[in-house]
Amino acid sequence: MAASLRAPRFSKILLKLSGESLMGERNSGINLPTLKDIAGEIHSAHKLGIQIAIVMGGGNIFRGVESSQYSIGRVTADYMGMLATVINALALRETLNAACSPATVMTALEIDRVVEPYGRERALRHLDEGRIVIFAGGTGNPYFTTDTAATLRATEINAEVILKATQVDGVYDRDPAKDPAAKLFRKISYERVLTEKLRIIDLTAISMAMEQQIPIIVFNIGKRGNIEKIVSGYKVGTLVAGEGDER
């Protein structure tokens, strides 16, 4: 791939993966060919010598915000969603290990018989030793999204950028699925995302990223090579940062 001809632009990234990204053409659960494809994309970027951390979502298995229709309380539902992220993280870990990219799972939940508990210093050591670190369990607290967990973990491990994987090409001024005339932003400010409530990213996560000045790149995980292109310095998707916006 042409992207690999460039030296990496970043040395440490945090990739936010939604659970839905693992579904492929399915309506729920994990599509194994899709999982393998995503692991391959991550493996290709990892081979460039960069440190990669991942925050995993769980919406392909259970979404806490939809719990009211099942008479499940929000706190319980959020914990169920956190457990769903662990299932996804374990699947991704095994697939990465099979691709010869050593990976480990750390979680904010206390289930250390299954995965390692999260600790900042241990996470940094794993990254320094060349492992991909997959963070599961969100922040470990109800009412916080995995987007917010991604910004928190990115801050804690000193990631240079957050890559927010989606099913669309970036941030639009309107929903592109509903309006074919929707305009794609190539760059947009944190402030505009907050003001216009462009919910491609959780607003709490945007506020935290703005405070910490961590750029976010929103991109389409379904297009092969996008992760490697981004870390190699190619312009892909939408950059959410601190200055202005352009289309």
Strand 103-107 with 132-136, pairing: parallel
From residue 129, alpha-carbon distances to 49, 51, 111, 121, 176 in Å are: 11, 9, 24, 12, 41
What is the model's pLDDT at position 244? 56
Q: Say what angle helices 32-46 and 74-98 make with each other, to 10 degrees.
A: 60
Q: Report, as an integer, the average pLDDT of 124-140.
A: 98
Domain boundaries, the chain: 2-241
Q: Which residues contact 185 (CB under 8 A, 6 or more apart)?
A: 170, 171, 172, 173, 238, 245, 246, 247
Residues 29-85 have pLDDT tens digits of 999 999 999 999 999 999 999 999 999 999 999 876 566 667 888 899 999 999 999
Q: Name the pLDDT band for 4 (thresholds 50, 70, 90).
A: low
> Two tokens at 216?
């976010």
Domain 2-241 class? alpha beta
Q: Report, as an integer, the average pLDDT of 21-27.
A: 92
Task: Classify the C-alpha dihedral 198-81-217-168 as positive or negative.
Answer: negative
What is the model's pLDDT at position 160? 97
